[in-house]
Amino acid sequence: GCEKGNQNTASIEQAIKKYEQATTLEGVVRSNGGPIKAGTIKVTDKYEELVASTAIQNSGHYSVKIPADTFLPIVLTFYPETAEGENLITAVVHPGITKYDINPLTTSIAKKALAMGGYTHANMVRAAEGTANVPDANKTTAGFRGDPTTQYGGWH
């Protein structure tokens, strides 16, 4: 007969991604009221170990250098200078993208992706679909048309 005993035993392997060389990530930190001009960004790996950190510049812009051989995913967390501010995050899952804004929407998407099982491309897209308003013209039955990282939610 047929070997039905092994049907659902194959595991899905996810390719391990990392920065092969030192890479600078940059973007703008925003609240719903506009750019945030003071605070710190800390970059952590999946074990919550500190990879790098930087201070926000007056324009709300940040730039942080990620060391070579840093494995993805990593999380960029904004820590405000004042106690009444909130921490904001964005998750990085693609080594080829270097611009990552950090705002309430990216925070929501990252938290949803983590709740779905982790910071993977598939979870980030699913979280963005459920969070951002996506025009029907930009959806297909297979998912997003075009680049979901720049169109849906800003976690680029």
Instruction: Summarize pLDDT for 63-89 with one digit per residue, the tens.
Output: 999 999 999 999 999 999 887 778 999
- CA–CA distance, 17 with 8 (Å, rounded to integer): 26
Beta-carbon-side half-sphere exposure of residue 130 (alpha carbons within 13 Å): 14
Nearest alpha-carbon partner for 24 in 46, 48, 41? 41
Instruction: Summarize pLDDT for 24-59 with one digit per residue, the tens.
Output: 999 999 998 899 989 999 999 999 999 999 999 888
Cis check: omega of the bond before 73, within 30 degrees of 0: yes
pLDDT at 12: 45
- CA–CA distance, 94 with 100 (Å, rounded to integer): 11
Query: pTM for the full model?
Result: 0.76
Q: What is the chain's Cα-based Rg?
A: 18
Using the predicted structure, report yes or no on whether residue 62 has a pLDDT greater than 60.
yes
- CA–CA distance, 46 with 72 (Å, rounded to integer): 8
Cross-strand pairs, 43: 52, 76
Mark 81-119 as b/e (b = at least 16 C-beta within 10 Å). eeeeeeebbbbbbebeebebbbbebbbbbbebbbeeeeb
